[in-house]
Chains A and B, each alone.
Chain A
């Protein structure tokens, strides 16, 4: 078993004109998704909307850009950590995730420390 991080990116403007009923259904779908994952669901965090800062190092200097990053079509909104046998298994877990209605999911394996600690 390995750990995989699901990086959730939100499409901007994707939430316009979503009705209360539809929102509730999405939250319920999340509930069902979590339940299905059970112990394979290791955690997750939601990032605050709106603000952010981007630091870049160049020529020994640091450039700082204040977010939100308006030029981006998708904003990094949060992540889940899940446990799976491999990429295919992780993908089938993520495929049911309700987030896909509102943006994309990038799956990355977490590298575990190898060798003697």
Chain B
């Protein structure tokens, strides 16, 4: 025990990690029907630490301390409830849960928890919320802030999701080999959504919600460490996230204003992350499979490798967009592809493509539609219409940095080179 009353520095996200690991371990050892109990006793143990450590100091093995306190609380509760219900306590459970798990068994439990949260029986938004809660250790308040949803909505979503898992008697186990690939895809989708929610952050004052970005990257590295689960599309997603994360600090300037790709100080891009991105991309290309993540990572790699907007390999980016559009038929992809066309073949071609875009009306309520339109008009030299389009876009902007940037485009310099982020 260190000097009384003083607390050593706790490393990294120790509490968050401990909360995830111990909840997963206990759920595995006590049985998935006790998932709620596991959550409760872990919260109890963390609170006890919060209230005791400032007086007694941080124990030498903080995670071990938390684990022991949580387990004892779990045994207490199980004994108490068996006494109330007048049946013998399940000594088997206690014996099982008293065993220390090996490190790879702990990692394994966390993986099971991730798969549990991404079960096909749950709706997409529920998967994200549940993963943030049970694996990310986010509080209900933090999840609602991260996903820009009402606290009550998230609470309801979590309760309902847990009920679905309980009533469906979903085992706390790896999916069967036949279902593994589909479930891994579901997990990757959840991680992708988590990362995007953090990276795009189109509401509120902050442009980047670092917490979500970090958590998405942490979860993916947990997945990729397991050879049975690592997949080419997982590697591609990792590459994509590394390339984007490498630019995180340059996305807003010191005054937290939005900095688009063309204006970013490329010297400040994180070269380590970019190198990591290329390593993941190489691993992703070891198989002929081509996922949406491969193509998006490909686009991001072109930007990461380019010394400037002008010297960017736009024809290659356009090729990736062509494939991405064929694969996803996403209207947002089609929209962004127009910018790539403008950069690769000239403003007129880009605007022509945009005009010819079918079904683009469904995008009209969204900011991206008006930004792309304004950008294309500006590239095509149509200053008046471009200004009007930027004005419309500014009225739809969700975050302060976005709004400020778009306003600056209304006020002038609409003749600048294309910005595309």
A residues at B contact (CB < 8 Å): 15, 17-24, 26-28, 30-31, 34-35, 41, 43-46, 49, 77-78, 80, 98-99
Question: Which single residue of chain A is at the shortest CB-CB distance from B50?
Answer: A23
Q: Please pick, from B54, B138, B142, B211, the residue contacting A27 in the complex, using a CB distance under 8 A.
A: B54
Question: Which single residue of chain B is at the shortest CB-CB distance from A45?
Answer: B55
Return chain B residues, CB-CB under 8 Å to A34: 5-7, 54
B55 pairs with A19, CB closer than 8 A: no
Return chain B residues, CB-CB under 8 Å to A23: 15, 46-47, 49-50
Which of B8, B18, B50 is most buried by chain A, counting CB atoms within 10 A of its CB? B50
Tell me, yes or no, whether B100 is within 8 Å of chain A by CB. no
A17 pairs with B139, CB closer than 8 A: yes
Return chain A residues, CB-CB under 8 Å to B14: 24
Tell me, yes or no, whether B414 is within 8 Å of chain A by CB. no
Q: Please pick, from A18, A41, A43, A80, the residue contacting B50 in the complex, using a CB distance under 8 A.
A: A18
Cα separation A23 to B47 with both chains bound (whole Å): 8
- Nearest CB of A to B36, in Å: 16
A24 pairs with B10, CB closer than 8 A: yes
Question: Which single residue of chain B is at the shortest CB-CB distance from A18?
Answer: B139
Return chain B residues, CB-CB under 8 Å to A44: 4-5, 55
Question: Which single residue of chain A is at the shortest CB-CB distance from B14?
Answer: A24
Which B residues between 38 and 73 are near A, CB-CB below 8 angstroms?
46-47, 49-56, 58
Please classify the interface of chain B as helix (H, G, I), strand (E, B), loop, or mixed, using the class held by over half of its residues. helix
B47 pairs with A41, CB closer than 8 A: no
Which of B5, B8, B19 is most buried by chain A, counting CB atoms within 10 A of its CB? B5
B52 pairs with A46, CB closer than 8 A: yes
Cα separation A62 to B377 with both chains bound (whole Å): 87
Cα separation A44 to B19 with both chains bound (whole Å): 28
Cα separation A19 to B19 with both chains bound (whole Å): 9
- Nearest CB of B to A113, in Å: 25
Return chain B residues, CB-CB under 8 Å to A26: 50
B58 pairs with A27, CB closer than 8 A: yes
With A43-B4, A77-B51, A80-B5 known to touch, is A20 a contact of B10 (CB < 8 Å)?
Answer: no
- Nearest CB of A to B136, in Å: 9
Which B residues between 1 and 49 are near A, CB-CB below 8 angstroms?
4-10, 13-16, 18-19, 46-47, 49
Cα separation A22 to B50 with both chains bound (whole Å): 10
What count of chain B residues pass the 8 Å CB interface test?
Answer: 31
Return chain B residues, CB-CB under 8 Å to A21: 13, 15-16, 137-138, 142, 211
Return chain B residues, CB-CB under 8 Å to A30: 7, 53-54
Q: Please pick, from B4, B7, B16, B53, the residue contacting A20 in the complex, using a CB distance under 8 A.
A: B16
Tell me, yes or no, whether B204 is within 8 Å of chain A by CB. no
Tell me, yes or no, whether B171 is within 8 Å of chain A by CB. no
Return chain B residues, CB-CB under 8 Å to A98: 54
Tell me, yes or no, whether B378 is within 8 Å of chain A by CB. no
Q: Please pick, from A18, A28, A78, the residue contacting B7 in the complex, using a CB distance under 8 A.
A: A28
Cα separation A91 to B9 with both chains bound (whole Å): 25
Return chain B residues, CB-CB under 8 Å to A31: 6-10, 58
Return chain A residues, CB-CB under 8 Å to B55: 44-46, 78
Cα separation A31 to B3 with both chains bound (whole Å): 11
B56 pairs with A46, CB closer than 8 A: yes
A20 pairs with B211, CB closer than 8 A: no
B6 pairs with A41, CB closer than 8 A: yes
Return chain B residues, CB-CB under 8 Å to A18: 47, 50, 139
Cα separation A77 to B8 with both chains bound (whole Å): 22
Tell me, yes or no, whether B141 is within 8 Å of chain A by CB. yes
Return chain A residues, CB-CB under 8 Å to B9: 28, 31
Return chain B residues, CB-CB under 8 Å to A22: 139, 142
Return chain A residues, CB-CB under 8 Å to B4: 43-44
- Nearest CB of B to A30, in Å: 4
Return chain A residues, CB-CB under 8 Å to B7: 27-28, 30-31, 34
Cα separation A28 to B16 with both chains bound (whole Å): 14
A20 pairs with B56, CB closer than 8 A: no
Q: Please pick, from B47, B138, B140, the residue contacting A15 in the complex, using a CB distance under 8 A.
A: B47
- Nearest CB of B to A114, in Å: 28
Cα separation A34 to B13 with both chains bound (whole Å): 21
Q: Please pick, from A15, A20, A35, A46, the residue contacting B6 in the complex, using a CB distance under 8 A.
A: A35
A19 pairs with B138, CB closer than 8 A: yes
Return chain B residues, CB-CB under 8 Å to A20: 13, 15-16, 18-19, 46, 137
